[in-house]
Chains A and B, each alone.
Chain A
């Protein structure tokens, strides 16, 4: 154990001590961070996951702005009870276009990772305006201010920024962002161009207001959560990871 005797040299010399600290921090950092850039096994290869449509993306921004993540997680963990209640456990692939992801860690309310399609637009609107109108025992706050008109003036710039961090929006999608956003929020036509660019997008106005409101955006976002991957055909256990 004679090398331990020399640690006094390290401890009593500021330069050596700093180099020693730096080296150990670098090793820790490399081991944690480097594999994430190259690891192939974290994100499953599944079909169906697409970037959010402009309207959904705005809804997601409002979700973050209002702090919904403080009470709701978006992560069905691979546990029996959770899978039984919420549906298939979440895949890493399902949040690969989320910046940042909304997995969360606090569940005052239920997990929302698979809430898409569970309720109708009408229910979401009533519930967001005043949860106690539909769920008398709810402790969720009301969000009646979401009735206001949606400001989507920066949506194309937002999408460009997301593209920089890896969301594969095409030039066509960015060029049509505003048009697509309005179309999704106002048209019930399932063959509209926006539905072609973003399969499974929930079409139509959520509230009674013909203008594009924050409610429209929020509900479009909630309705797509967890619906992109078709688990009747995708079997993640069978996918090589």
Chain B
């Protein structure tokens, strides 16, 4: 190996390496670069000591600061609870009726309820609760299957409809057609009657009237006003749960009487806490149809 020597042309030292007679000038790294480099090395050593860093055989080094992202989350959540407690603690303590009466609490619940609604409910009930024709009910009108009072809404949201929760709202319309309770002719007649009822047309002399009185009134009530106790929708208006945008009303009734569809909604108390459900109740109630 050649030794370091001065290059006669540039006057600079060479590295001392020589390959086939070619030698390399020794141009050291700038000082500032070297300092930064050593600073990062020192930083990394300090980091290993302070923070969790090294795996060991069946554990890891915890670091003297004892940092863990899950602990940080816990304190973040605590801080947030603290910040919101001014409102949330009150909402938790009083009934929804009282929340609505207090202007500040109501505003807070509306804001929180809207966010919760968009995350959890809008995929079915649509943004702003406009519903999906033929599948999910509109929550922004004043027509309610299970009731539009605050208490009704809270019950529906907490325990849902036709799910496995023991407090879920339950009811089932009989399969009049599929189980042979009514003939095709009778179904046709009762459908004509329901169409007339819903369009506020004349029902006088329709043969379906007697069938309706005998078979349907138990649930859908006299005049088809519906009952929130069994979740049987009103049939005396033109709001349809199971009517897609292109279907004829009569066909919807025939389908439902022949082999009924039943809507189902999850129980939100299984996912959300009580305060969130109260906020949602206030929000849904405000959408247009709260009673």
User: B73 near A39 (CB under 8 angstroms)?
Assistant: no
Residue of B17, B54, B132, B270 touching A134 (CB-CB under 8 A)? B132
Q: Does B248 contact A (CB under 8 A)?
A: no
User: A41 near B266 (CB under 8 angstroms)?
Assistant: no
Q: Does B86 contact A (CB under 8 A)?
A: no
Residue of B57, B77, B119, B163 touching A83 (CB-CB under 8 A)? B77
Residues in A whose Cβ lies below 8 Å from that of B167: none
User: A35 near B56 (CB under 8 angstroms)?
Assistant: yes
Q: Does A8 contact B (CB under 8 A)?
A: yes
Min Cβ gap A183→B in Å is: 18
User: B120 near A134 (CB under 8 angstroms)?
Assistant: no
User: A35 near B80 (CB under 8 angstroms)?
Assistant: no
Main DSSP-derived SS at the B contact region: mixed
Residue-wise interface mask of A (207-239) relative to B, using a CB-CB cutoff of 8 A (1 in contact, 0 not): 000000000000000000000000000001100
User: A8 near B17 (CB under 8 angstroms)?
Assistant: yes
Q: Does B94 contact A (CB under 8 A)?
A: no
Min Cβ gap A203→B in Å is: 10
Given known contacts A39-B55, A78-B69, A119 and B74 CB-to-CB distance under 8 angstroms? no
Min Cβ gap B279→A in Å is: 13
Min Cβ gap A182→B in Å is: 22
Min Cβ gap B37→A in Å is: 15
Given known contacts A39-B55, A41-B59, A87-B271, A135 and B73 CB-to-CB distance under 8 angstroms? no
Residue of A122, A133, A134 touching B264 (CB-CB under 8 A)? A122
The number of A-B residue pairs with CB atoms under 8 Å apart is 76
User: A85 near B119 (CB under 8 angstroms)?
Assistant: yes
Q: Once the chains are docked, how many angstroms separate the CA of A118 from the CA of B71?
A: 27
Residues in A whose Cβ lies below 8 Å from that of B58: 35, 38-41
Residue-wise interface mask of B (62-74) relative to A, using a CB-CB cutoff of 8 A (1 in contact, 0 not): 0000000111111
Q: Does B196 contact A (CB under 8 A)?
A: no
Q: Once the chains are docked, how many angstroms separate the CA of A135 from the CA of B70?
A: 34
Residues in A whose Cβ lies below 8 Å from that of B16: 8
Q: Once the chains are docked, how many angstroms separate the CA of A78 from the CA of B77?
A: 11
> What's the tally of chain A residues with a CB closer than 8 Å to chain B?
32
Q: Which residues, 86 to 104 on A, are CB-close (under 8 Å) to B?
A: 87, 89
User: B271 near A41 (CB under 8 angstroms)?
Assistant: no
Q: Does A117 contact B (CB under 8 A)?
A: yes
Interface centre among B55, B77, B136 (most CB of A within 10 A): B55
Given known contacts A80-B80, A89-B70, A134-B132, A118 and B60 CB-to-CB distance under 8 angstroms? no
Interface size for chain B: under 10, 10 to 19, 20 to 34, or 35 or more residues?
A: 35 or more
Q: Once the chains are docked, how many angstroms separate the CA of A122 from the CA of B71?
A: 39
User: B59 near A39 (CB under 8 angstroms)?
Assistant: yes
User: A120 near B265 (CB under 8 angstroms)?
Assistant: yes
Q: Once the chains are docked, how many angstroms separate the CA of A122 from the CA of B163?
A: 12
Q: Once the chains are docked, how many angstroms separate the CA of A38 from the CA of B56?
A: 9
Min Cβ gap B27→A in Å is: 17
Residue of A nearest to B58 (CB): A40
Q: Which residues, 124 to 158 on A, are CB-close (under 8 Å) to B?
A: 126-127, 133-137
Q: Which residues, 73 to 102 on B, are CB-close (under 8 Å) to A?
A: 73-74, 76-77, 80
Q: Once the chains are docked, how many angstroms separate the CA of A87 from the CA of B136?
A: 24
Q: Does A123 contact B (CB under 8 A)?
A: yes
Given known contacts A87-B271, A120-B264, A133-B132, A80 and B73 CB-to-CB distance under 8 angstroms? yes
Q: Which of B6-14, B122-130, B180-188 lies at the interface with chain A?
A: B122-130
User: A134 near B124 (CB under 8 angstroms)?
Assistant: yes
Min Cβ gap A234→B in Å is: 13
User: B136 near A134 (CB under 8 angstroms)?
Assistant: yes
Residues in A whose Cβ lies below 8 Å from that of B72: 78
Q: Does B1 contact A (CB under 8 A)?
A: yes
Residue of B nearest to A87 (CB): B271
Q: Does B51 contact A (CB under 8 A)?
A: no
Q: Does A31 contact B (CB under 8 A)?
A: yes
10 A-B pairs closest in CB distance? A35-B55, A78-B73, A80-B76, A40-B58, A120-B264, A78-B69, A78-B70, A38-B57, A38-B58, A41-B59
